[in-house]
Amino acid sequence: MSLSAARRRNSTRDSRRTSRDMPGSSKKRALRCRIDLTAGGAQHGGNLGGEIIMKRFAMAAALLAGIAAVAPALGQSYPVKAARLVVPFAPGNSSDILARALAQKLSELWLQPVVVENKPGATTTIGTDFVAKSAPDGYTLLLAPPSFIVSPYVYSKLNYNRARDFTPVSLVAFYPLLLVVNAANPAKSIADLMAQAKAKPGMTFGSVGNGSMGHLAGELVHLRAGVEMVHVPYKSSGQAAIDLIGGLISFYFSGAPEVLSNIRAGRINALAVLTPSGKRLTLLPAVPTARESGFPEIEAVLWAVVAAPAGTPRKIVDRISADIAKVIAVPDFRERFIAQGAELVGSTAEEAAQFIRAEDAKWGPLIKSLGIRAE
């Protein structure tokens, strides 16, 4: 064999050997790459994994920041659908009339329907319980009357807890009670009525039920007079007014709207206005307040507080209370209800909560001491 031929054969063998070794070499290089990658990560304290975790933390933080930025907008965008204002009375009474007027004005302000739903029964506890169990989103509200603070004392068991399940939103209005007598009664003042009670124990007084503001006001008169009096509960203000005019009861406590027509017709006389503001009613300027008459402790008012389910976002609560204040400032709204004997307030949520606590502190001990129970 020639030298050149031998060289060609050796070159061919080397080429074949090299081609056979190539796959193994690739595997070794890939393995070395994987080992180097892992080792490099370990040598740098796991920086690769740390970078991934940090990136995820950064993404989560950005997401939370976005949610936080959107939260104020949620309060600002309220309401985005219809709301309902629950009245725990049948249609037609002073609370219902106030609720409908308030709902109409809020609808105009919010550009969303505000529907009044009447849910009467069980001395307002049915409607109150309904709202307590509603979603705390600002779309179901309660127009709460004085029984809101009275019911926990006169019922042995309720399905809701007033303090736990509600957030006061706004004290909308007061309706001062009037102490009224039959026009034939010679009494012209609270002092005259006290003198009659002492001269003839057993005087009767009416109210719209056990634990009503009229009942509690009558008990204050009873305590001040220091003589026996008999409470006569009625189902409605109209029934009590009929019996007062007929001489079947001696005196009665009522909101002005319920007795105003009989006062103007001369069938009933108002002896005093039981208002904590100390101001006479615009529609009955000749009738003195209990405070003016020397009986400041005999003060009791009907009232209306808008309340929301507990847990309603604070921004929504503040939005509603601010908008109620705007409604109350509207001249035609004010004139309408002042003419019905109301004292309009439109408080903040904090002021409404303070008012509820003050009413509870005033009437709770009296109810307990007298052992008043629901009928």
Residuewise pLDDT in 10s, the chain (375 residues): 443 444 444 444 444 444 444 444 443 443 343 334 333 343 334 443 334 334 434 444 444 444 444 444 555 689 999 999 999 999 998 899 999 999 999 999 999 999 999 999 999 999 999 999 999 999 999 999 999 999 999 999 999 999 999 999 999 999 999 999 999 999 999 999 999 999 999 999 999 999 999 999 999 999 998 989 999 999 888 899 999 999 999 999 998 888 999 999 999 999 999 998 888 998 899 999 999 999 998 999 999 999 999 999 999 999 999 999 999 999 999 999 998 889 999 999 999 999 999 999 999 999 999 999 987
- CA-based nearest residue to 85, from 62, 48, 122, 112: 112
Q: Please report which helix (H) or strand (E) contains residue 89, including its range.
A: none
Joined tokens for residue 338: 């002042």
Confidence (pTM): 0.78
* Rounded Cα distance, 10 and 12, in Å: 5
Full set of structural domains in the chain with CATH: 81-174+303-370 (3.40.190.150), 175-301 (3.40.190.10)
Can you tell me whether residue 36 is helix, strand or coil?
Answer: helix
**Secondary structure letter of residue 136 according to DSSP:** S
Residue bearing tokens 């994987």: 34
Nearest to 111 by CA among 79, 139, 86: 79
Give the list of residues 6+ apart from residue 31 with CB closer than 8 angstroms, or none. Answer: none
